[in-house]
Amino acid sequence: MAESSAAAADTPTLDFERPVVALERKIEELVRVSGGTSELRPTIALLEARARELQQKIFSELTPWQKVQLSRHPARPYTLDYIERLFEGFIELHGDRRFADDPAVVGGFATFDGMPVLVLGHQKGRSTKEKVLRNFGQPKPEGYRKALRLMELASRTRRPIICLIDTQGAYPGVDAEERGQAEAIAKNLEVMAGLPVPIVCAVIGEGGSGGALALGVANRILMQEYATYSVISPEGCASILWRDDGKKPEAAAAMKITATDLMRLGVVDEVISEAPGGAHRDHDASAKLLGEALLRHLKELYYLKAEELRADRYKKFRHMGAFVESGDKGK
Q: If you average pLDDT over every residue of the chain, what do you get? A: 91
Label residue 324 by pLDDT band (50, 70, 90). low
What element of type H or E holds 81? helix 79-86
Angle between helices 141-156 and 181-194 (to 10 degrees): 20
Query: At which of 37, 61, 85 does a domain end?
Result: 61
- Residues 39, 73 within the same domain: no
Beta partners for residue 91, in sequence order: 109
In a domain, 16, yes or no: yes
Residues 88 and 25 in one domain: no
Question: Per-residue pLDDT for 321 more than 90?
Answer: no
Domain that holds residue 44: 5-61
Q: What is the CB-side half-sphere exposure of residue 52 using CA atoms within 13 A?
A: 6
Residue 330 belongs to a domain: no
**Buried b vs exposed e over 180-215: b needs ≥16 C-beta within 10 Å?**
ebeebbebbbeebeebebbbbbbbbbbbbbbbbbbb
| pLDDT for position 326 | 67
Kindly state whether residue 326 falls inside one of the protein's structural domains.
Answer: no
Do 37 and 88 sit in the same domain of this protein?
A: no
pLDDT at 252: 94
99 and 210: one domain? yes
Domain at 308, CATH number? 3.90.226.10
In a shared domain, residues 47 and 177: no
* Interval 223-244 mean pLDDT: 94
Cα–Cα distance, 260 to 266 (Å, whole number): 10
Instruction: Return the DSSP state at 35.
Output: T
**Structure confidence at residue 10 as a pLDDT band (50, 70, 90):** low
State if pTM tops 0.85: yes
Lowest mean pLDDT of 15-24, 87-96, 110-119, 186-195, name the range. Answer: 15-24
Q: Which of 20, 44, 61 is the last residue of a domain?
A: 61
Q: Does any domain span residue 323?
A: no
pLDDT at 51: 87
DSSP-assigned letters across all residues of 216-267: ---SEEEEETT-EEESS-HHHHHHHHTS-GGGHHHHHHHHT-BHHHHHHTTS
Half-sphere exposure of 286 (CA within 13 A, CB side): 30
Residues 227 and 144 in one domain: yes
Q: Domain for residue 327, yes or no?
A: no
The CA-atom distances, in angstroms, between 235 and each of 157, 230, 249, 262 are 42, 12, 9, 19
Q: Flag whether pLDDT at 329 surpasses 60.
A: no
Give the alpha-carbon dihedral of 148, 153, 155, 158, to 10 degrees. -150
Query: Are 178 and 267 in the same domain?
Result: yes
Query: Domain check: are 72 and 57 in the same one?
Result: no
What is the structure's pLDDT at 34? Answer: 73
Query: Is residue 74 domain-resident?
Result: yes
Picking from 61, 78, 104, the residue at the C-terminal end of a domain is 61
* Residue 89 to residue 94: CA distance in whole angstroms: 16
Q: Which tens digit of pLDDT belongs to each residue from 171-196?
A: 999 999 999 999 999 999 999 999 99
How many domains does the chain contain in total? 2
Residues 75 and 219 in one domain: yes
pLDDT band of residue 293 (cuts 50, 70, 90) is very high
Both 155 and 274 in one domain: the answer is yes
| Pair 105, 49 in one domain | no
